Structures are given as C-alpha cells and as structure tokens.
Amino acid sequence: MSRAPLAIVTMVYNEPHHLPIWCRHYGHNAAPSACYIIDHGSDDGSTEHLHGFNHVRIPRSPQDDEKRTEFINQFCASLLSWYESVIYVDVDELLIADPALHPSLTHFAHTNTRTVVTAIGLDLIHRPEHEPPLNACLPLLPQRRHVRFSSAMCKPTLIRAPITWAPGFHCHAEAGPKFDAPLYLFHTRYTDLTSGLQRLYRTRTQAWSSEHAGQHQRLQDQDWENMLRSMAGLPVTPCSLALNDPQLHPYLNSVMNSTLSRQQERYRLDLHINGEALWQVPDRFLGSL
C-alpha cells in the first residue's frame, strides 16, 4: 500500500499568535488534511476554527516535557504507517527547504532519502529600534529580515522511521546531528516584542509539572526583553545560508564537534552555540514565510 508523502505535527496550548501563522505556513507546504494539531486543553478559542486541519484534543494537565515528548514519539511513529515522512515542530518553529531547490516541504520530503533530517536552526529576530510591531496577517520575512544562528534550534525535525526524541526535541537517542540537507528552522519566538511578552505571561503563569521545569519560559518580563534587545543589537553581516557559506559553516562544524564528547549523554549536542552576528535573510527566502 502506498503512503502519503508527508504529515506535519505540532502541539499547542492557547497560542492565538503563533497558531494562525503555523497553519498558514504548513497548510501551504502540505494540505491542511496532512497537518495534525495536538490541542493540550486550549480554552482561549484559538483552536476553535481549524477548518481542514486535523484537530486532536487531549486533556489539559500541568506542562510536563517528559510526558509530552513520550506522547509525540509514539504519535509520530504511528503516523509513519500512513505517511512516508513525518515532521514534528513546535508551534513557533517554521521549516523552509531551500526555495532555490524545493518549492515546498512536500517536494523536499518526496525527494529526501535520509532517515532523519536535522534542520539548521535560526532565531528570527525583532529589532525594535528599526522595525514596527509585527502584523501577523502579513508574511513574516518582509517584516523581519534578520536571523541569528542557534544550535538549540538545530533539531531533527523530519523522520522516515521512528526515533526517540529527547525533551525539547533538540536531539534523538539514535544518532547525533548531520547537516547534509538544505532545511532551515526559523524560530519565531523572538519575532515580536509585544506578543512575545504576552506569550511569556501565559507560559509563566500556567501550571507546570514541577517548580524547576521550563525555567526559560518563566522569565520575568524585563529579563526576556533584555535578552531580545541584546540579540537585536548584534552586528549585521551577510550570509547566503548555503551549507558551505563561510559565515554558516563554522557554526555547523562547532555543533558537530560538540557531539564528540556527548555520545552517552541525553543531549548529544551543545545547545548554547549562538551566532555572534545577525544575518540578513537572502532574497530567495522572501516568498517562503
């Protein structure tokens, strides 16, 4: 029996800003009927009008990344009975296959033969001193043109066989990352100061499985704003985002090298390798987000 080429999965709780953008992007890259939104008890109305998308409701419970990851591991593995490839991304993560080579993620998945594809991680940054608040109804990249490399966002996102993701989906148990495919993860957590602070209030005040869980999502407003403004103030340098680009390639090598001493660790790469400059997103990506 032939299988469909690609399913795309995310998991959400009260995401009025990010979810419409996620649906627009992935609904364009694959049919909405191939997109699965796991709704962890949203009660703000943000998941009430997901026409055409698969809306899977699960009961609300305190945020527990171990439990969430175990569920997603099993859910994505089960989808491989019906799809050749499955992508899992958080709701603020937008994948783009290099548009010079692939018109869509479905095309990329159809031509890909790798069992696991690790994306190149990029934070898409709001520069509040230079850019107005984001209009979420319009394409993102004309409004936000600068990214910062982030090893924490270099995630194994596309699979063709079951894997065991670690919490946070930064790596998996079967192997370390390989950067041999032109697939890019644009992390949109920092694309807008105002909506970012609104989301931070929600994640800070929601129930967590322990008092120590999710500390990076429970920062105080000023600490988060200072972090964003620090990234926005980095110098701007050109980068083609090609795999062999002299700006990008050393960071990819650093991530690969960081895995050598982590073969037995749960997180098999250094999650704190961050760009020291902002790169302007090349023009060929402009129609992709």
For range 105-113, the mean pLDDT: 96
Question: For position 46, what pLDDT does the model report?
Answer: 95
By C-alpha distance, which of 206, 117, 207, 120 is closest to 161? 117
Question: For position 174, what pLDDT does the model report?
Answer: 80
Q: What is the pLDDT of residues 241-269, one digit of tens each?
A: 999 999 999 999 999 999 988 888 888 89
Residue 216 has pLDDT above 90, yes or no: no
Distance CA 11, CA 67 (A): 12
Question: For position 2, what pLDDT does the model report?
Answer: 86
Listed in sequence order, the residues at least 6 apart from 229 whose beta carbon sits closer than 8 Å to its beta carbon are: 128
Residue 69 has pLDDT above 70, yes or no: yes
Residue 231 has pLDDT above 70, yes or no: yes
Listed in sequence order, the residues at least 6 apart from 83 whose beta carbon sits closer than 8 Å to its beta carbon are: 3, 4, 5, 6, 7, 34
For range 1-5, the mean pLDDT: 86
Distance CA 146, CA 148 (A): 7
For range 29-51, the mean pLDDT: 95
Question: For position 204, what pLDDT does the model report?
Answer: 93
Question: For position 12, what pLDDT does the model report?
Answer: 97
How high is the mean pLDDT of the chain? 94
Residue 185 has pLDDT above 90, yes or no: yes
For range 46-61, the mean pLDDT: 95
pLDDT bin (cut points 50, 70, 90) of residue 173 is confident
Question: For position 281, what pLDDT does the model report?
Answer: 96
For range 62-68, the mean pLDDT: 93
**Residue 176: C-alpha distances to residues 72, 167, 171, 181, 201 (Å):** 19, 15, 7, 15, 34
pLDDT bin (cut points 50, 70, 90) of residue 97 is very high
For range 47-76, the mean pLDDT: 95
Question: For position 262, what pLDDT does the model report?
Answer: 85
Distance CA 54, CA 57 (A): 10
Question: For position 1, what pLDDT does the model report?
Answer: 65
Q: What is the DSSP string of 81-132?
A: TTEEEEEE--TTEEEEE-TTT-SSHHHHHHH---SEEEPEEEEE---TTTSP
